[in-house]
């Protein structure tokens, strides 16, 4: 059983180096090209079901993959649980300008520390606490039915899921980079999937 994790293609605000969070920002031209390249990489994998967030950059990435590969009948489930982490008051701000205002060290903590949340936003820990219950309740059961599942989501929602799947520490996961539109494929045995059922 395969679980394929994919961050959306480059968004317009990725291009502009702005905090995006839950703001609904579309893909850039480069992001659309990245999505087509991801489709090419996934073309020879049978995908039975896809999950994505409620944000259009992830949905558009998945749409391009479906259209490019001819997966017109691929079932899709969408949920806010897979949304990017909320950046609160930082959303829309340029990252470099924000570092000048608050200090580079503080902004780095907001971006990468596990438990630190930006003003009125979420920490990676908060994101983990909504992503993992959703994975266990909705995605894991599909894998346990021998389905190959594609999840198209965001840097931090995927980082939270990878932390769980690979049993990583907070120090390890905050250093993990999630590139745009590069598939990560996990091939699980039945025993591994059973272990996830009882894992906190």
Q: Return mean pLDDT, the chain.
A: 94
pLDDT recorded at residue 159: 96
To which residue do tokens 């929602």 refer?
Answer: 157
Mean pLDDT (whole number) for 159-163? 96
Cβ burial of 103 (10 Å; 0-12, 13-18, 19+) is: exposed
Catalytic residues, which ones?
A: 8, 84
Q: Round to whole Å and give the CA distance between 138 and 94.
A: 35
- Superfamily of domain 2-197, CATH level 4: Phosphoglycerate mutase-like (3.40.50.1240)
pTM of the full predicted structure?
0.94
pLDDT more than 70, % of the chain: 98
Asked whether residue 199 carries a pLDDT value surpassing 80, the answer given is: no
Domain segments of the chain as ranges:
2-197
Is 68 in a helix, a strand, or coil?
Answer: helix
Of 127, 126, 55, 121, nearest to 88 by C-alpha is: 121
Which string of b and e fits 187-197 if b means at least 16 CB within 10 Å?
ebeeeebeebe
Q: pLDDT tens digits, residue range 89-146? A: 999 999 999 998 899 899 888 888 899 999 999 999 999 999 999 999 999 999 999 9
17 in Cβ contact with 164 (< 8 Å):
no
């Amino acid at each position: 059983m395969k679980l394929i994790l994919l961050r959306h293609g480059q968004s317009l605000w990725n291009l502009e180096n702005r905090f995006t969070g839950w703001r609904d920002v579309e893909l850039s031209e480069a992001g659309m090209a990245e999505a087509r390249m991801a489709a090419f990489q996934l073309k020879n994998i049978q995908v039975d079901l896809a999950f994505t967030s409620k944000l259009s950059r992830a949905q558009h990435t998945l749409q391009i993959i479906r259209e490019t590969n001819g997966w017109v009948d691929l079932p899709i489930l969408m949920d806010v649980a897979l949304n990017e982490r909320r950046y609160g008051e930082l959303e829309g701000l340029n990252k470099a300008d924000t570092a000048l205002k608050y200090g580079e060290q503080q902004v780095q903590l907001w971006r990468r520390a596990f438990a630190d949340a930006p003003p009125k936003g979420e920490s990676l820990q908060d994101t983990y606490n909504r992503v993992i219950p959703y994975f266990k309740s909705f995605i894991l059961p599909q894998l346990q039915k021998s389905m190959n599942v594609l999840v198209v989501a965001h840097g931090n929602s995927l980082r939270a899921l990878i932390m769980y799947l690979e049993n990583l520490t907070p120090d390890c996961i905050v250093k993990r980079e999630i590139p745009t539109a590069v598939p990560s494929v996990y091939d699980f045995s039945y025993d591994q999937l059973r272990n996830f059922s009882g894992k906190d």
